[in-house]
């Protein structure tokens, strides 16, 4: 009997200890999602936001919800952590006519026991391009076809096309195919939310400046129908055609140059904006003062500060380094530049241009 009286209390003690070891999970948090007032291009026709596609994913990419915004949960209980919330009016993977994409994407942090309110904006996420072909252009290039190309695919414009083509933000370039020959007319960088209108003539040329077209010679006229920050540009149509990168009129944009760098084309022209320098394999500086005169980086926009979107530039000893380097020429920061040299897949960790033989500083 004594042995039993000892064993039973011991078993009870072990049982209680096991209960004490049960670990409770962290208290869940919650997400609430709503739209702010639309912030879009004036006059745009926004679809009903209830029909937008809403997706909510955890940090590992696992989908918690994907469906219409109108049918989505008013409040979603989730474990603490970060979540990607995305809402779009339509899916958009390749260039299409009359296909603006509106929506928003946000990364939010949900804390244990707390409600995180996500306020979505409704802005245009892709970019539109309209072409207006003048009578003289159509007469000089009868039967021609215009191909607006981008990394995600091409879009064909006929001379009478009145619709707006939509593209993902990034580089585009226009090719003219006529009489069995194809040549590149110009290239541009598109920003989300913009609508670019370009008018093609064979007797005029234009310098884009703050949305105002100024005729001053032979070439193609271009008009901007947007208040966004578009790059300055000029194209003169000599009628002879040119290979992409063969001259300043056919210069690669930064986006195109980065895409072409793997092929290492030599003796090509590239244009962009000087945005920084002092490159290392892992970083670069985007603000003065600068310490190294041997390199710099250019971007598609003068406001660029993301190294992974830039093109690194080698500045060898000589007149070009003397004119361009940011140590001796700090006022060059933000200026547009045309460079002629060899594209390389890697220079200081990103695609670059080396062995410069020519430049023009705007």
Using the predicted structure, report yes or no on whether residue 224 has a pLDDT greater than 60.
no
Average pLDDT (289-306) is 92
Neighbours of 90 (CB within 10 A): 16
Query: Per the structure block, which two tokens stand in for 214?
Result: 């100024």
Eight-state DSSP code of residue 163: S
Sign of the torsion angle spanned by Cα atoms 154, 336, 287, 355: positive
Using the predicted structure, report yes or no on whether residue 80 has a pLDDT greater than 60.
yes
Element (H, E) at 361: strand 350-361
**pLDDT interval class at 228 (50, 70, 90):** very low
**pLDDT interval class at 325 (50, 70, 90):** very high
Q: What's the pLDDT score for residue 184?
A: 81
Residues with Cβ within 8 Å of residue 238, at least 6 apart in sequence:
218, 249
Using the predicted structure, report yes or no on whether residue 279 has a pLDDT greater than 50.
yes
Tens of pLDDT, residue by residue over 15-73, are: 334 344 444 557 899 999 988 764 444 445 678 888 999 999 999 999 999 999 999 98
Q: What's the pLDDT score for residue 211?
A: 32
Per mean pLDDT, which range of 80-84, 86-90, 251-255 is the poorest?
251-255
Complete DSSP assignment for 289-301: ----SSEEEEESS
Separation of alpha carbons 195 and 197, rounded Å: 7
Lateral strand order in the sheet of 115-120:
76-78, 29-35, 115-120
Q: What's the pLDDT score for residue 64?
A: 94
**pLDDT interval class at 323 (50, 70, 90):** very high
Average pLDDT (178-189) is 81
Q: What's the pLDDT score for residue 275?
A: 95
* Higher per-residue pLDDT: 213 or 59: 59
Using the predicted structure, report yes or no on whether residue 2 has a pLDDT greater than 60.
no
What's the mean pLDDT when you consider all of the chain?
80
Strands 336-347 and 76-78: unpaired
Q: What's the pLDDT score for residue 348?
A: 95
Tens of pLDDT, residue by residue over 110-130, are: 999 999 999 998 888 999 998
Residues with Cβ within 8 Å of residue 212, at least 6 apart in sequence:
224
Q: What's the pLDDT score for residue 194?
A: 84
Q: What's the pLDDT score for residue 226?
A: 41
Residues with Cβ within 8 Å of residue 331, at least 6 apart in sequence:
none
Complete DSSP assignment for 252-267: BPHHHHHHHGGG---S
Using the predicted structure, report yes or no on whether residue 232 has a pLDDT greater than 50.
no
Q: What's the pLDDT score for residue 202?
A: 63
Q: What's the pLDDT score for residue 216?
A: 28
DSSP reduced 3-state for 76: strand
Considering 2-11, 37-46, 168-177, 216-225, the range whose residues carry the highest mean pLDDT is 168-177
Separation of alpha carbons 160 and 92, rounded Å: 25
Using the predicted structure, report yes or no on whether residue 135 has a pLDDT greater than 80.
no
With b meaning 16 or more CB within 10 Å and e meaning fewer, what string describes 30-57? ebebebeeeebbeeeeeeebeebbbbbb
Query: Per the structure block, which two tokens stand in for 256?
Result: 């195109």
**pLDDT interval class at 256 (50, 70, 90):** confident
What whole-number percentage of the chain has pLDDT above 90? 49
Using the predicted structure, report yes or no on whether residue 273 has a pLDDT greater than 90.
yes
Neighbours of 215 (CB within 10 A): 12
């Amino acid at each position: 009997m004594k042995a039993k009286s000892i064993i039973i209390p011991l078993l009870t003690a072990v049982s209680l200890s096991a209960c004490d070891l049960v670990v409770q999970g962290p208290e869940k948090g919650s997400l609430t999602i709503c739209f702010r007032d639309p912030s879009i291009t004036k006059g745009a026709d926004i679809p009903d936001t209830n029909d937008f596609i809403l997706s909510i994913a955890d940090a590992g990419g696992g989908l918690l919800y994907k469906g219409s915004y109108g049918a989505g949960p008013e409040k979603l209980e989730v474990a603490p952590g970060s979540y990607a919330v995305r809402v779009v009016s339509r899916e958009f993977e390749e260039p299409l006519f009359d296909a603006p994409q509106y929506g928003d994407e946000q990364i939010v942090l949900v804390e244990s026991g707390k409600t995180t309110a996500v306020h979505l904006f409704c802005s245009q996420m892709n970019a539109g391009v309209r072409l207006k072909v003048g009578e003289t252009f159509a007469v000089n290039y009868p039967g021609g076809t215009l191909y607006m190309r981008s990394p995600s695919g091409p879009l064909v414009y006929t001379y009478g096309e009145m619709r707006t083509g939509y593209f993902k933000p990034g580089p585009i370039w226009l090719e003219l195919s006529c009489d069995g020959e194809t040549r590149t007319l110009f290239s541009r960088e598109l920003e989300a939310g913009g609508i670019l209108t370009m008018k093609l003539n064979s007797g005029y040329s234009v310098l884009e400046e703050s949305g105002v077209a100024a005729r001053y010679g032979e070439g193609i006229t271009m008009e901007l129908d947007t208040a966004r920050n578009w790059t300055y540009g000029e194209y003169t149509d000599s009628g002879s055609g040119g290979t992409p990168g063969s001259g300043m009129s056919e210069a690669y944009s930064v986006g195109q140059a980065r895409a072409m760098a793997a092929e290492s084309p030599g003796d090509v022209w590239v244009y962009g904006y000087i945005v920084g320098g002092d490159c290392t394999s892992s970083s670069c500086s985007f603000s003065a003062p600068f310490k190294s005169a041997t390199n710099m980086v250019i971007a598609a926009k003068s406001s660029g500060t993301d190294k992974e979107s830039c093109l690194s530039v080698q500045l060898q000893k000589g007149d070009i380094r003397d004119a361009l380097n940011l140590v001796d020429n700090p006022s060059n920061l933000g200026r547009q530049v045309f460079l002629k040299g060899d594209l390389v897949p890697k220079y200081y960790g990103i695609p670059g241009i080396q062995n410069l033989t020519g430049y023009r500083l705007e």
